[in-house]
Homo-oligomer: A and B are copies of this chain.
Amino acid sequence: MRKDRIPTQETITREPFPASTKVYVPGKIHDIKVAMREIALEDSVTHLPDGTKEYEKNNPVTVYDTSGPYSDPNIDIDVRKGLDRLREQWILDRGDVERLDNISSNYGKMREANPSLDELRFQHRHKPLRAKEGQNVSQLHYAKKGIITPEMEYIAIRENQRIDEMENIGHQHAGQNFGANTPQKKITPEFVRDEIASGRAIIPCNINHPESEPMIIGRNFLVKINANIGNSATTSSIEEEVEKAVWACRWGADNIMDLSTGKNIHETREWVIRNSPVPVGTVPIYQALEKVNGKAEDLTWEIFRDTLIEQAEQGVDYFTIHAGVLLKYIPLTARRVTGIVSRGGSIMAKWCLHHHKENFLYTNFEEICEIMKAYDVAFSLGDGLRPGSIADANDAAQFGELETLGELAKIAMKHEVQTMIEGPGHVPMHMIKANMDKQLEACNEAPFYTLGPLTTDIAPGYDHITSGIGAAMIGWFGTAMLCYVTPKEHLGLPNKEDVREGVVTYKLAAHAADLAKGHPGAQVRDNALSKARFEFRWRDQFNLSLDPEKALAFHDETLPAEGAKTAHFCSMCGPNFCSMKITQDVRDYAEANGLTEDEALAKGMEEKSKQFSDQGNEIYL
């Protein structure tokens, strides 16, 4: 087995995006600076009949940016020290946490005491924070008390993406929001607080992950996406996983999950979290299983509990917990085409069967809540019985578990622990909406977080697409976060290019959902890109796209010359045959004839048309 490697400055992608500047918008309530990405545009050029040119300025477009400080060349980053601790002072200022002298978990202590790990270990660690005795440090707790935290104001500013300054770009279609509140004209800090307080949204922000930029998961906000990273028993190193995390954020991952099941999981996670500008989720049962050498029946509540504390003190922002896999549901999977396909679900099922006992995550759920609120770790209640094939979609096992997740969400709410609910899986299009409707009802509108769903089983190698279809649809229906799927799904481990392909696919699916929901300002970027496309501002078209590099590379495959990027044609139709150019002629014609008003234009043409017909041409009606 290859020796593990730690990251260096050289293994991290740090280029800024083309024509983009990192901007920081100040808060009004709190002393905060909200990071965004501003894309500068070229002027529109009109060629006048007298041979001169007229220039019209195009406002820059500001976009929600998940790339963190990595895309800001003005910020020094030392991967060995981790990112700046943006939220640390906000957390300390609340006065409800204490810094521990040492980490609390037995496993963490053991790893710390092992000198053979010295060269792999992240060196500049901070002592963990924990809520003072009897305190709850969750954003839900503050929201219920009516407090607008800096995290909430940050989110309000971030979600708006400076739409006020961009509204000159064009109109937006009214969306169609399913079962949610009326979409806001503009997101306010108070609206964020209210959505958190109601349980309709969560902010995953462990007090031990102050490096992350606050983000919100809820269906009245921009749809978010998750990218999974993590090593496995046979492949990859710490170095690769940290770069994969940075890389995923670069292309648009709003948060990542570290699903490592290989060696040095504890150390890998520390490196990832310290360098992650987005929240990090995990499935603690994976690591717990490694601690018992992969034998599910050897798992105990004590080992699991120690794992939760270990990870909470490292800064994991949310835990997937498969507490809904109850004994009574397990037999319902025996006749499925694909049984139990969730790893967490199958581990718990195996444990339950072996011991003839109820799921220990379920029986100890209130104690788990106590741990979560001491660090503000959010629940992601796992769907261990999600369908793994079209045939198994929406069956009794799946919906039975969903009901139980709803009960658990209520208990978490009682404890003021932030909670979201995981969803499928493989579901044909006509059965997707029922998932959303049932989830909203069963789980009291807690945010839904789905994997796809994949809308057919027959396209391995293209499952980012089969699932992108389902993801866009369920995002429109109200799912708050979409877990990405890469082209390697069902076949192998994704490499860096697969991660990019998966992230961009999910980013476009999430954006399609934002458009369909009519999220305020969502269409600004589409309008700006389409205007650039129509005006042959090729560079702007590339720069406004989700993947500027690929758009440029694809264009250059056919027309690599620099001149082609200002040419008023493209490779598809050639210089004499361009529909965009012809449309410009239509406009010029209309203007030259003084037909500037839509109605006058239409009227003039209709008369012309009628006149022509009256002269003896056939009319068909």
Task: Enumerate chain A interface residues (CB-CB to B < 8 A).
Answer: 170-171, 173, 175-176, 232-235, 261, 289, 294, 296, 326-328, 330-335, 337-343, 345-347, 349-350, 353, 356-358, 362-363, 365-366, 388-391, 393, 407-408, 411, 426, 428-431, 455-462, 464-466, 468-469, 472-473, 476, 487-488, 490-493, 495, 504-505, 507-509, 511-513, 515-518, 523, 525-527, 529-531, 533-534, 541-542, 544-547, 550-551, 553-555, 557-559, 570-577, 579-580, 582-587, 589-590, 595, 598, 601-602, 604-606, 608-609, 612-613, 617-618, 620-621
Contact = CB atoms under 8 A, between A and B. Distances in A.
A582 B558 CA distance: 50
Given A327-B609, A513-B429, A586-B333, A457 B491 contact: no
Given A331-B605, A334-B598, 8 more contacts: A261-B577, A331-B602, A340-B583, A345-B579, A346-B586, A365-B618, A389-B527, A458-B546
Contacts of A429: 472-473, 476, 512-513, 515-516
Contacts of A605: 327-328, 330-331
Contacts of A390: 173, 515, 523, 526-527, 530
A575 B173 CA distance: 51
A546 B459 CA distance: 5
A609 B363 CA distance: 11
Contacts of A331: 590, 595, 598, 601-602, 604-605
Given A346-B583, A356-B608, A602-B332, A492 B557 contact: yes
A497 to B, nearest CB: 11
A598 B455 contact: no
A533 B490 contact: yes
Contacts of A511: 456, 458-459
Contacts of A551: 460-461, 491
Contact of A589 (B233, B353, B621): B353
Contacts of A343: 573, 577, 579
A206 to B, nearest CB: 25
A621 B407 CA distance: 7
A493 B388 CA distance: 37
Nearest to A541: B460
A546 B465 CA distance: 13
A147 B171 CA distance: 53
A393 B173 contact: yes
A364 to B, nearest CB: 8
Contacts of A557: 488, 492, 495
Contacts of A473: 429, 469, 473
A334 B579 contact: no
A337 B508 contact: no
A523 B457 CA distance: 9
A459 B504 contact: yes
Given A353-B589, A551-B461, A555-B492, A576 B340 contact: no
Nearest to A612: B358
A295 to B, nearest CB: 9
A61 to B, nearest CB: 10
Contacts of A173: 390-391, 393, 428, 430-431
Given A358-B609, A492-B557, A526-B389, A337 B534 contact: yes
Contacts of A530: 337-338, 388-391, 426, 457
A506 to B, nearest CB: 10
A185 to B, nearest CB: 18
A620 B515 contact: no
A582 B347 contact: yes
A589 B333 CA distance: 12
Contacts of A546: 458-459, 462
Nearest to A507: B459
Contacts of A525: 457-458
Which one of A431, A458, A547, A551 has the greatest number of beta carbons of chain B within 10 Å? A458
Contacts of A365: 618, 620
A601 B334 contact: yes
Given A328-B606, A492-B570, A458 B508 contact: yes
Contacts of A341: 579-580, 583
Contacts of A356: 608, 612
Nearest to A328: B606
A411 to B, nearest CB: 6
A342 to B, nearest CB: 6
A32 B534 CA distance: 51
A338 B584 CA distance: 10
B358 A428 contact: no
A461 to B, nearest CB: 4
A110 B363 CA distance: 86
A545 B492 CA distance: 16
Nearest to A466: B508
Contacts of A332: 598, 601-602
A576 B426 CA distance: 25
Contact of A350 (B171, B233, B574, B586): B586
B618 A366 contact: yes
Given A586-B330, A620-B408, A558 B235 contact: yes
Contacts of A620: 362, 365-366, 407-408, 411
10 contacts: A173-B430, A175-B430, A343-B577, A343-B579, A390-B527, A458-B526, A465-B509, A469-B469, A488-B558, A491-B554
